[in-house]
Amino acid sequence: MSDDGVGQAGAEAVRAAWGRIDGWLRQWAPGSYARLAPPAEPGATAAAEAALRLRFPAELRASLGCHDGAGGEGVLPVKPPLSAAGIVRYWTRWMELTEEEREFGDPEEEGEPSWHPRWIPWAESDGDAQILDGREGPGFGRLGMKYHDEEGLFGDDAPSLAAYLTEVADVLENGGSVGGRVPYLAVSGVLWWAEAPAAPSGGR
């Protein structure tokens, strides 16, 4: 998919969101800010695209241009972002696991396949990854999940990477939750995310 105006707007939103996240972390959670890698070298991103044989969505290239992954949990509410090299490693591992499959998914079956070559992992831990849909069409660039023992999962309202990072920035600055997770600060100056407490039932 070419970098049209929509793609560029998404890339700008990613850079703006990371700028806000970085500023908040520097002030309130310097230990977590230290976990963020510097920007990826342009050659590293290009090499990752070549390895996957596809051009990354503009939003992912923008994110890698801000941080080439993170060294540990807690910076983001779901999974820590991968480096360009980490994207290649995770994608390659799943391609090897499915190399004997001649087709990715049965068109007669509902749901997503266990893996698709145009899924791009962008954040991962413990074998589970947030993925970006690199398939052409209306779902291009949507954010989903790939659990190591399940098929891929995209919700009906799966956000783009820009929407996800913007939501994280909004919650850090103004409070609230992201996907049912709320941020909190450890004494050590590290950010973590916990499941939001259930709302009390009525009657008391």
Beta strands at 181-185 and 191-195: parallel, antiparallel or unpaired:
antiparallel
> What homologous superfamily is domain 5-195 in, according to CATH?
SMI1/KNR4-like (3.40.1580.10)
132-156 as b/e, with b when 16 or more CB fall inside 10 Å? bbbeeeeeebbbbbbeeeeebebee
State residue 2's pLDDT score: 43
- Residue 203's pLDDT is what? 45
pTM of the entire predicted model = 0.86
Give me the tens of pLDDT residue by residue for the chain, a chain 204 residues long.
444 666 889 999 999 999 999 999 999 999 999 999 999 998 999 999 999 999 999 999 999 999 999 988 899 999 999 999 999 999 999 998 876 554 554 544 555 667 889 999 999 999 899 999 998 888 888 999 998 776 667 776 568 999 999 999 999 999 999 989 999 999 888 999 999 886 565 544
Query: What is residue 13's predicted lDDT score, i.e. its pLDDT?
Result: 97
Q: Which residues of 95-114 are buried (b: 16+ CB within 10 A; e: fewer)?
A: eeeeeeeeeeeeeeeeebbb
Q: Give the per-residue pLDDT at 4.
A: 62
| Residue 169: predicted pLDDT | 97
